[in-house]
Structure 1
Amino acid sequence: MMKQNIIFGIDVSSKSSTVCVVIDRIKQGETFKITNDSFGYQDLLDRLNQYLITPLVVFEATGVYSLSLQAFLEDYHIKYLKLNPLKAKKLMDNNLRHNKTDKVDAYRLALIQFNAPQKLRAPQPKEYHELQNASRYYEELAQALIINKNQLHRNLQSAFPQIESILSTSSGRVYWTIVSLFPHAQYVLNHNENQVFQSLLAISGIGKQRAHYLTTRLYALARQAYPYDNESSITIRAIQRNIANLLSLSAERDNVINYMEKLAMQANARSLNIYESIPGIAKTTAVRLVAELGDLRRFDTSAQIDAFVGIDPGRYQSGEKDSHLEITKHGNHLARKILYRTITQMETVKATQPCHITDYYDKKKRSSNSRGYKKIAIASVHKLIRTMFALIKHDQLYDYNVATHNQRL
């Protein structure tokens, strides 16, 4: 017998929402609309307060549009069920939904809790939402860095392509500062060696010996160059703009990760420590995993985390049986991306930091006849999720010896 038998089904749109009240599966009156603002939510609160038993609100997570509704419900301590849109669609389709209208959807959403009751979960602390906001901002900065790096590379091809080999890596603050000083080969040749040397010596991180070496190297590269654009070309301004952007974006990305680390320590310092104990997971990855996955203790099984991330397969791989791991690719795409990348990071440190997950990955690679290893990587992500969930659940740091003897991981 359900304790809660008054349901407000809410179909959320960008500017307004459609509300349907259902009591014991029976629709009460006509559906009504509210605006997604303080006035609309006051109207909703008045209607909720008409009942002696506080109704349950059911709605779909429609990205940014449902956030203000969620904030209102949490501020007034109103219980709610926020459904993943794919899960909501599946549950409504099981109830033979044929028509797609706001009125029908609001009603069908309300019926879900009668026909297929879902477990209610306490809202996560707001630090997790802020963490996810910061993680998304971090991703935007990372993508902007890639764009500007590519633009810088293209622009240098017609001004001074040889300078890209001045350091072992054509990235980072020191490299960008050198290029901003000498964006064109002629910028080097127009100055004497002492002037170039003093310019390089003024860069933080470059000592006298290195400045002498780089001066000689710059002159050799400048003499080798045969640029298409001259030193007064607009391309030079484009190069310097790229570099200004790169320095600014890089500094902001560092600020964001520091901010995220402080938030993660406030929200769940223990999870941060546990993630960092897993080989291949450094501070930045650990912080972003806390941000994108939230508190894993809110899940009942690791399979639920698979679905949340979007790597739940139609067919599974277990033991000696290799099935086709066709993942749904629905769910948190950034969490999926970070976890997938983590497997690569684990492979790079396995010589000094052994892990049962890389053991599994390597074993499957050796026995695979396929040229691609993406399916094996996805299976490894499944293992990583199971491991993370077990460690969080039992409040334990990673131990290779324990993990290798625990076949469930």
Structure 2
Amino acid sequence: MRTVIGIDVSKNKANIAITTDLVVVRESVISLDMLGFNELKHVVLQFGGNPEIVFEATGVYSRRLEYFLQQEHLNYHILNPLVAKNRIATGSRLRKNDRRDARRLAITEFTEHLEPYLLAYKQDPIYRELTDMNRYYDQLNEDKKRARNRAHRVLQLVFASFGASNGGFDFDTKLAWELLTLFPHAQIVREIGDLNELASQILMAHFKGIGPKRAHDAARKLWKLAAKNGDAVPVTSDNTRQMKLLADQILALEIAQDQQVSRMIDLGKSLPELKLLQTIPGIGSNTAIRLISELGDIRRFHTRQQLNSYVGIDTTEVDSGDHQSARHITKHGNPHARRILYWTVILMINPQMDNNHIRDGYQKRREASSSKKKLIVRQMDRLIKTILYLIKTNQPYSYELSPHSK
């Protein structure tokens, strides 16, 4: 006799369907708190103490249930949302509710897994913690992007020439935003009236890495830019205050990101793959820890295809009769990991980067390829293969031993 408990997790409650040999024997609703979890534990004990439990990953809501099952050492099968959607779908699905979904999850476990599902590889909790930390890092990055967009709008009113394409400051450097905290309006620079005084004020701000020479160079550039700037609002405008606040906000977000990465590296320094990934040209400590945080324990993947599917660069295929569609990546996997891998490949194919087989493969096919993006995705696949091999074999990267001739 085989018993499966299907659980449909919502925000504050969960529908439960207990199925024995494809027959639903009991249904109930529990709250997602300790009262509900203890009720679930009581049900588990009633059905032998170790029935199969299956539920869909629903973000932060299912995390509470998953943590409880881990603490109680109960076996569970957590489904990818796309897999769960395909399982639950029946006909036109005009009648959908949480009760039916719990039933379908339980019943399809019998048909999809003829033998009881067992979690073959359990990750160290450190990987889940790193994932949460990296998601916060991404949130900081999104906040910084929004703040920069607002800042660029205000800058057109108070100091448009500051970021001019010809001779302006580079907004990818910290110095540009630091200077805007001191001089959020071109009129402020013009009112100082003395180049040495301008350089002195920059020095007195004690910006990191700014000595007398750099301060003088920055002052001279500011002087020229302010002189030719066409103001849109007076220096007394509230836009001047907004510019300073936005520059301060962007700098604070950058500091918060740096601190978050440092915390992630401190947490993950015991992981052997952290050092292994840094032996690959183009992957520093920042990229390495963020890759680990999104890919998790890569040892749980047996093949490159499994890892590709997890990232979402596996290809679709529609071949029916005389019709055969073009192949595209599914993008069903982890978008955070996919983004990190994409920019890692962009960095690795840079001509100034150390020798690596990713750049060799890209340059070899560049002229023949009609799509740069498809070529980069192909190199993402090669990078995934390399990462999986290095971690599985516990070996550092070697250009001489890599398949760069293929």
Q: 2:321 maps to which residue?
A: none
Q: 2:186 maps to which residue?
A: 185
The answer to whether the Cα contact below 8 Å between 2:361 and 2:404 also exists between their aligned partners in 1 is no
Q: Which amino acid aligns with 2:46?
A: Q
Please list the CA deviations of residues 274-302 of structure 1 after superposition, one character each: whole Å capped at 9, or x if unmatched.
Answer: 22112221211111110001001112222
Q: 1:8 maps to which residue?
A: 5
The answer to whether the Cα contact below 8 Å between 1:325 and 1:379 also exists between their aligned partners in 2 is no
Q: Tell me the CA shift for residue 174 of structure 1.
A: 2.3
Cα distance between partner residues in 2 of 1:81 and 1:257: 32
Cα distance between partner residues in 1 of 2:261 and 2:77: 31
Q: Tell me the CA shift for residue 306 of structure 1.
A: 1.3
Q: Tell me the CA shift for residue 358 of structure 1.
A: 2.1
- Unaligned runs of 5+ residues in structure 1 are 317-322
Cα distance between partner residues in 1 of 2:258 and 2:29: 44
Cα distance between partner residues in 2 of 1:358 and 1:315: 28
SS in 2 for 1:9: strand
Counterparts in 2 of 1:223-234, with a 5 A limit? 223-234=227-238
Cα 1:157–1:53 shift into 2, 3 Å: closer
**Residues 111-120 or 53-62, more deviating:** 111-120
The answer to whether the Cα contact below 8 Å between 1:325 and 1:378 also exists between their aligned partners in 2 is no
Cα distance between partner residues in 1 of 2:353 and 2:65: 49
Q: Tell me the CA shift for residue 272 of structure 1.
A: 1.1
The answer to whether the Cα contact below 8 Å between 2:75 and 2:118 also exists between their aligned partners in 1 is no
* 1:70 has 2:71 as partner: no
Count matched residues.
391
Cα distance between partner residues in 2 of 1:143 and 1:41: 35
The answer to whether the Cα contact below 8 Å between 1:15 and 1:35 also exists between their aligned partners in 2 is yes
Cα distance between partner residues in 2 of 1:191 and 1:221: 14
Cα distance between partner residues in 2 of 1:34 and 1:67: 15
Cα distance between partner residues in 2 of 1:111 and 1:144: 43
Q: 1:81 maps to which residue?
A: 77
Q: Which amino acid aligns with 1:250?
A: E
Q: Which amino acid aligns with 1:157?
A: Q
The answer to whether the Cα contact below 8 Å between 2:281 and 2:353 also exists between their aligned partners in 1 is no
Q: Tell me the CA shift for residue 324 of structure 1.
A: 4.3
* 1:387 has 2:391 as partner: no
Q: Which amino acid aligns with 1:88?
A: A
The answer to whether the Cα contact below 8 Å between 2:358 and 2:404 also exists between their aligned partners in 1 is no
Cα 1:60–1:121 shift into 2, 3 Å: farther
Task: Give the alignment's Cα RMSD to 1 decimal.
Answer: 2.3
Cα distance between partner residues in 2 of 1:157 and 1:124: 50
**Residues 127-136 or 203-212, more deviating:** 203-212
Cα 1:96–1:270 shift into 2, 3 Å: farther
* 1:140 has 2:139 as partner: yes
SS in 2 for 1:157: helix
Cα distance between partner residues in 1 of 2:226 and 2:18: 75
Cα distance between partner residues in 2 of 1:215 and 1:358: 40
The answer to whether the Cα contact below 8 Å between 1:9 and 1:57 also exists between their aligned partners in 2 is yes
Please list the CA deviations of residues 288-340 of structure 1 after superposition, one character each: whole Å capped at 9, or x if unmatched.
Answer: 11000100111222211111111111249xxxxxx944111112111111111
The answer to whether the Cα contact below 8 Å between 2:161 and 2:229 also exists between their aligned partners in 1 is yes
Identity across the alignment (%): 35
Please list the CA deviations of residues 64-106 of structure 1 after superposition, one character each: whole Å capped at 9, or x if unmatched.
Answer: 110100011011111111110212233455x879553322321
Q: Which 4+ runs in 1 deviate beyond 6 A?
A: none
Q: Which amino acid aligns with 1:181?
A: L
The answer to whether the Cα contact below 8 Å between 1:308 and 1:332 also exists between their aligned partners in 2 is yes
SS in 2 for 1:401: coil
Counterparts in 2 of 1:361-380, with a 5 A limit? 361-368=362-369, 370=370, 372-380=371-379
Q: 2:322 maps to which residue?
A: none
Q: Which amino acid aligns with 1:101?
A: N
Cα distance between partner residues in 2 of 1:280 and 1:347: 9
Q: 1:320 maps to which residue?
A: none
* 1:31 has 2:27 as partner: yes
Cα 1:171–1:366 shift into 2, 3 Å: closer
Cα 1:161–1:218 shift into 2, 3 Å: same
Q: Which amino acid aligns with 2:64?
A: S
SS in 1 for 2:401: helix
Cα 1:109–1:336 shift into 2, 3 Å: same
Counterparts in 2 of 1:217-366, with a 5 A limit? 217-266=221-270, 269-315=271-317, 324-348=326-350, 350-366=351-367
The answer to whether the Cα contact below 8 Å between 2:360 and 2:404 also exists between their aligned partners in 1 is no
Cα distance between partner residues in 2 of 1:168 and 1:188: 15
TM-score (norm 2): 0.90
Cα 1:13–1:406 shift into 2, 3 Å: farther
Cα 1:334–1:405 shift into 2, 3 Å: closer
Cα 1:406–1:101 shift into 2, 3 Å: farther
Please list the CA deviations of residues 120-170 of structure 1 after superposition, one character each: whole Å capped at 9, or x if unmatched.
Answer: 234422221221111111111112212222222221212122223576522
Q: Tell me the CA shift for residue 405 of structure 1.
A: 6.8
Cα 1:67–1:284 shift into 2, 3 Å: same
Cα 1:71–1:43 shift into 2, 3 Å: same
Cα 1:324–1:283 shift into 2, 3 Å: farther
Q: 1:17 maps to which residue?
A: 14
Q: 2:177 maps to which residue?
A: 176
TM-score (norm 1): 0.89
Q: Tell me the CA shift for residue 111 of structure 1.
A: 2.6
Cα distance between partner residues in 1 of 2:405 and 2:273: 21
Aligned counterpart in structure 1 of residue 213 of structure 2, from 209, 213, 231: 209
Cα distance between partner residues in 2 of 1:351 and 1:161: 33
SS in 1 for 2:55: strand
Please list the CA deviations of residues 155-195 of structure 1 after superposition, one character each: whole Å capped at 9, or x if unmatched.
Answer: 12121222235765224332222122111122112224243
The answer to whether the Cα contact below 8 Å between 1:325 and 1:375 also exists between their aligned partners in 2 is no
SS in 2 for 1:311: coil
Cα distance between partner residues in 2 of 1:274 and 1:253: 23
